[in-house]
Amino acid sequence: MSYTFRITGKKKIKLKSFDPEYDAGLTREEADAKTAALCKEMMELQELLYAASDHSVLIVLQGRDTSGKDGTIRVVTGPLNSLACNVASFKVPTANELAHDFLWRVHQQTPGRGQMTIFNRSHYEDVLVVRVHNLAPKKVWKARYDHINNFEQLLVDSNTIVLKFYLHISKEEQEARLLEREQDATKAWKLSAGDWKEREYWDDYTAAYEDAINECSTKDAPWHIVPANKKWFRNLAVAETIVDALKPYKKAWLKKLDAMGAEEKALIEEFRREKQTTK
Ligand code: ADP
């Protein structure tokens, strides 16, 4: 069974149809145990991905403030081998970035063969915050859905496995998390007046997210809506979706590695034979 809701664009969705509290009836202990096992499996798959170097993996993490993008990265992809896994965070664009098309800075960060990259925010900000705060005219951001679809199709056609996650929290849960930060000295560094201000635009963001998900979900680059009020369920849901997406490639990667090993072994044997005859 799948713990996220996979959106492929066939039917238009509304976020209110998805329960952010959903936990599939699991307890925290059960979910944590499953997540640990999935993270282990993900590490094994990552090694094959790296060694076979046929595919890349792009994980896009989006969600409102406090939805848990950083926590997901820490728990789910933190244990991966950093040789072949990196995080790219997208902040307010610099003057130089703004002097280019909106995908310029993004394309530079996409993963090469064998690599996995996690986008902490992404090109979707250009149809989210940009839309909500009128940072570009409607005509400009509306045209971006097609640009994004074409861009992601280019990545897919170049052997990139694209996984996009929307971490779905409720407005009440966000308030609780923001208030908790004010009480907890170890979380004080995360405090931001901006988060409370952005919260005022909750409904505008809902509309922007719904359009982004509806306009930019395809069979090859689907969105996954992740119930994220419970952090432990969110971690499980993301881990499971990543493992499920990589598993179908395992056989082909192993086959390639076998062939690579056999080829190298033949070369070693040839080297030994030559050494024997020249003795
Ligand atoms: P985070 O909230 O991701 O932990 P920050 O507090 O630095 O990190 O926030 C990054 C900010 O950059 C967010 O408010 C986000 O909306 C903004 N941002 C990202 N991409 C863009 C963009 N293309 N245009 C305008 N703002 C952007």
Q: What's the CATH fold of domain 5-277? A: Rossmann fold (3.40.50)
What pLDDT score does 2 carry?
87
Q: How far is the CA of 120 from the centre of ligand 1 (A)?
A: 10
CA-to-CA dists, residue 15 to 5, 18, 209, 262, angstroms: 11, 6, 8, 51
Q: How far is the CA of 191 from the centre of ligand 1 (A)?
A: 15
Q: Where exactly are the structural domains of the chain? A: 5-277
Q: What stretches in the chain show pLDDT beneath 50?
A: none
Dist. CA 60–CA 16, nearest whole Å: 22
Cβ–ligand 1 distance for 90 under 6 Å, the answer yes
What pLDDT score does 189 carry?
83
Residue with tokens 């081998």: 81
Residue 59 is classified by DSSP as E
CB atoms within 10 A of CB 169: 24
Q: How far is the CA of 103 from the centre of ligand 1 (A)?
A: 15
Atom of ligand 1 at shortest distance to CA of 192? 6
pTM equals 0.95
